[in-house]
Structure 1
Amino acid sequence: MLHIRDEGEEVEFQLPHIRLSARRWGSADKPLLLALHGWLDNANSFEPLAQFLPQYQILAIDWPGHGHSEHRPGLYPLHWIDYLYDLELLIDRLKQQETFAGIIGHSLGGIIAAAYTAAFPERVKKLVLLEAISPLFESASKNNVRLRNSFASHLRMVNKRVNSAAVYDSIELAVKARSRLTGLDEAWCRLLVDRNMQQVGSGVSWRSDPRLKLDSPLRLTFEQVDALMTDHSTETLIITAESGYEQISHLLPKAQLWFNHLSCIELAGDHHLHMGNAQQVANAILAFMSVGGK
């Protein structure tokens, strides 16, 4: 059977506090899966996966400060918990218009989705976490150093008073730079970089919010994460990669205690396995979504 590639469409959501851009694949009459990308990625990261999920409408947003979405106003430090508020308002909008089937979250997107569904399990029927389990945590003894480092980095940015993002002669140079830095295949880097860059004079530069690369002022402790995640009741599938982040695999025993309805699978690939191994990831998602109905 001939496979026809779905090019998708650009959509926007004007929320009360910020404008989010997104890409949508699949017709509007199909059940919707909301796709949440990782740190410094964007909606394009779900294009490979969407091609293998034609049974669903895939809506992949750009988080604030990523892709084509607005940046958060001002120059104050960014906090991960702000993404939960973005998600709450977006889901409230989607539930008014769509058959909302669940969430797919990769890395940062999975962290946000896991925390959100822990607090609001009635809002999301099914959750797929790709290389993610829970919010990050660290010892409370690191609070002072983290706060000092965060404020120092933000003050350096404010005092520069200019966007110091690198300017490249072409997107291809930026693609190679990201591939060298992350080890991600150039084809996937190109897909991500294309949406995260803008024209600057005769060159191109990152459109991403520069604050995304600065230290957060505060991180949760394990005790806080443990309290949040315990008795997590949303049906959840965790997909890890054979060559993914070790800390995620090490946390799986704790996930078995946290999640009341959990399935786990490991697939070939790296941290971005939903791009490099999209078909197997899609097959796992379809099997998970079919259990108990859609």
Structure 2
Amino acid sequence: MSPIFEEVRLRLPHIELAAHLYGPEDGLPVIALHGWLDNAASFARLAPRLPGLRIVALDFAGHGHSDHRPLGASYAIWDYVHDVLQVAEQFGWQRFSLLGHSMGAIVSVLLAGALPERVARLALIDGLMPYTGEAESAPQKLAEALKAQMALAGKRKPVYAQFDRAVEARMRGVGAVSREAAELLAQRGLMPVPGGFTWRTDSRLTLPSPLRLTRAHAQAFVRHLQCPTSLVLAEQGMLLAQPGLRELLEEVSVSRTELPGGHHLHLDDEGGAQLVADCFNPFLRSP
């Protein structure tokens, strides 16, 4: 499959991000946000199946071909929210929809909950709320994060002698994917180095979070959603295992559909991508 897209770089006031543009310039505006350690290729199968939309599929900061954050900076999830707002400003979009997978879905919910006047619709794939932490665990979590930061300088990224070795590693990674999906992500996510290939991603992305939202904080964003929201749950994915998810969804106006497949069901194969597209096409194009 050879999707038609335009590769662009977006010079924001504080960082330069890369993105794939899909669809007509006058299409309904949508910003597509991938998961942790993935990249814009996450939407390579899905985006071409969503006609009539102008989709900006970002590489998040530190991922894919986007810049890494400056030395001394971190990758707090709310900083991604600011990045997305700045991308919308670049395109002159005062109101837009969000298509998010996993971490991208979480960023979407945070933005829509905080600034409901900016987000028209939310289309979420196997993601809703961040991992949370309660007050009593905060000192321990900060200690773990500080120790990991201090140790990072002594660590090196893995180098794979062959491209296929990196693909196999990605297949077994967090949110395991099919070989075809791993190849799509690797084609965008790898760079050549002496001895083979390594990932473009910023090593700081693997550091533990020094501070997490409490469950009450995270649920407040979901409860504050005002735009129409459609959530696709993967039957063999990661979201259904979150404690209290079904109870929360019973309280809020979030339309949900359970589909067969794993966490990357929109990318693993053509059939999964079509099932997700069938859910989101009428939803995203509704007035």
Shorter-chain TM-score category?
over 0.9
Say yes or no: does 1:26 pair with 2:18: no
* CA distance in structure 1 between the partners assigned to 2:259 and 2:243 by the alignment: 12
The answer to whether residue 260 in structure 2 is matched with residue 268 in structure 1 is yes
Shift of 1:274: 1.2
Give the C-alpha shift of residue 256 in structure 1: 3.4
Query: Quick one: which of 166, 171, 178 aligns to 1:174?
Result: 166
- 1:1-294 matches, cutoff 5 A: 5-94=2-91, 96=92, 101-158=96-153, 160=154, 164-182=156-174, 183-245=176-238, 246-248=240-242, 250-257=244-251, 259=252, 261-276=253-268, 277-291=272-286, 293=287
Cα deviation, residue 54, structure 1? 2.2
| Percentage of matched positions with identical amino acids | 35
The 10-residue stretch of structure 1 (119-128 or 163-172) with the greater mean CA deviation from structure 2: 163-172
* Corresponding pairs, count: 282
**Local SS of the residue matching 2:30:** strand
Partners of 2:187 and 2:3 lie apart in 1 by 18
Work out the CA distance in 2 between the residues paired with 1:232 and 1:157: 37
For residues 52-104 of structure 1, the C-alpha deviation after alignment (integer angstroms, 9 at most, x for no partner) is: 1122222100000000000000044431111111112112222x1x6964110
Identify if the C-alpha distance between structure 1 residues 196 and 6 changes in structure 2 by more than 3 Å, giving closer, same or farther. closer
Counterpart Cα distance in 1 of 2:195 and 2:212: 40
- Structure 2 Cα separation of the partners of residues 249 and 268 of structure 1: 20
Q: Which runs of 5+ in 2 are unaligned?
A: none
Is contact 2:113–2:222 with CA below 8 Å preserved after alignment?
yes
- CA shift, 1:186, in A, is 0.9
Q: Which amino acid aligns with 1:84?
A: V
Say if 2:28 and 2:285, in contact at 8 Å, map to a contact too. no
- Deviation for aligned residue 1:180: 2.7
Q: Residues 5 and 51 of structure 1 are in contact (CA less than 8 Å); yes or no, is this contact kept in structure 2?
A: no
State the Cα RMSD in Å.
Answer: 1.9
Give the TM-score, by structure 1 length. 0.90
Counterpart CA distance in 2 for 1:263 and 1:157 is: 42
Partner-residue secondary structure (3-state), 1:60 = strand
Deviations 1:187-237 (A, max 9, x none): 100100111111112411111000111101000112222333323211100
Q: Structure 1 CA distance, aligned partners of 2:242 and 2:20? A: 28
Residues 133, 255 of structure 1: 8 Å contact kept: no
Is the 2:95–2:118 contact (alpha carbons within 8 Å) kept by the matching residues of 1? no
Q: Structure 1: which 5+ runs fail to align?
A: none
C-alpha distance in structure 2 between counterparts of 1:23 and 1:289, whole Å: 19
CA deviation after TM superposition for structure 1 residue 177, in Å: 1.3
Displacement after TM superposition at 1:5 (Å): 4.7
Q: Within 2, Cα distance between the matches of 1:148 and 1:249?
A: 25
Segment of structure 1 superposing worse, 239-248 or 148-157:
239-248
Distance 1:227 1:54 in 2: 33
Equivalent residue letter for 2:246: L
Deviation of 1:244 after TM superposition, in Å, equals 0.9
Cα deviation, residue 284, structure 1: 0.3
